Amino acid sequence: MHICRVIFNQKGGVGKSTIACNLAAISAMKGKRTLLIDLDPQCNSSQYLLGEGFEELDATVADFFNDLLYFTFRPKSPNACVRSTPFGKLDIMPAHPSLEDLTAKLESRYKMFKLRDALKTMEEYDAIFIDTPPAYNFYTRSALIASDTCLIPFDCDDFSRRALYSLLENVKEIKDDHNPKLYIEGIIVNQFQPRANLPGKIVSELLAEGLPIIDAYLSSSVIIRESHQRAMPMAYMAPRHKLTLEFEALYSKLGVNGNGRKRA
């Protein structure tokens, strides 16, 4: 039985796609059959894992959602929208810009539970990661309903901190109304600068508030831009780089509770 994680923050520019792809890559490298689902119309995760030309694919997650709106004799199964990546054991259900145009229709017809139902049929995967758009909309709600856990990327600035509290309320709303098993697995501190005063101060204050900060921070590094450009996650491009080791440390913390034990 797989575990499904959604990477969610309604604020843009906090590293959702980068974190989702690199955690999924490490999962696959550790021998787990891994699927990444890209629900963002910007398609950043799709380009990161597939490179140029991904827009020409004949079936994407947009086709899966589109078939929910119109009667089709043979609607596409979720597996028909999955593509292999160049990286072993790592598959992707790529996004498409047309997701944006489908949003209003999907919301009005209340299709938010269809992704959850689809993922229940995909038993061949050990781990599923869902990348979401920077908004609290149909796709993010669908992902939260479908997932077991939520990971929240967080940049150490005041704007991100202010947005964090409403985000936590939104996750709680989904948990209370639609998905009682959902829990926040942790807040991922991204672009951390240990020599700067403000990031350390903000993280310390969030910890004092009892928020679930994962004790494995990701540094700011220009190499991640090269990783994007080469369409190659860090574990494949630079396995001994400091940032790669930080991603691996972060992955090792997933599912760990306050006593240092792995959650089931």
pLDDT-derived band at 263, boundaries 50, 70, 90: very low
pLDDT for residue 76 is more than 60: yes
pLDDT at 42: 95
CB 128 within 8 A of CB 118: no
pLDDT-derived band at 75, boundaries 50, 70, 90: low
pLDDT for residue 79 is more than 60: yes
Neighbours of 77 (CB within 10 A): 14
pLDDT for residue 110 is more than 90: no
List of domains in the chain: 3-253 (3.40.50.300)
DSSP 3-state assignment of 189? strand
pLDDT at 256: 53
DSSP 3-state assignment of 181? coil
Calculate mean pLDDT across residues 173-192: 96
Picking from 77, 81, 93, the residue whose alpha carbon sits closest to that of residue 34 is 93
Calculate mean pLDDT across residues 80-106: 95
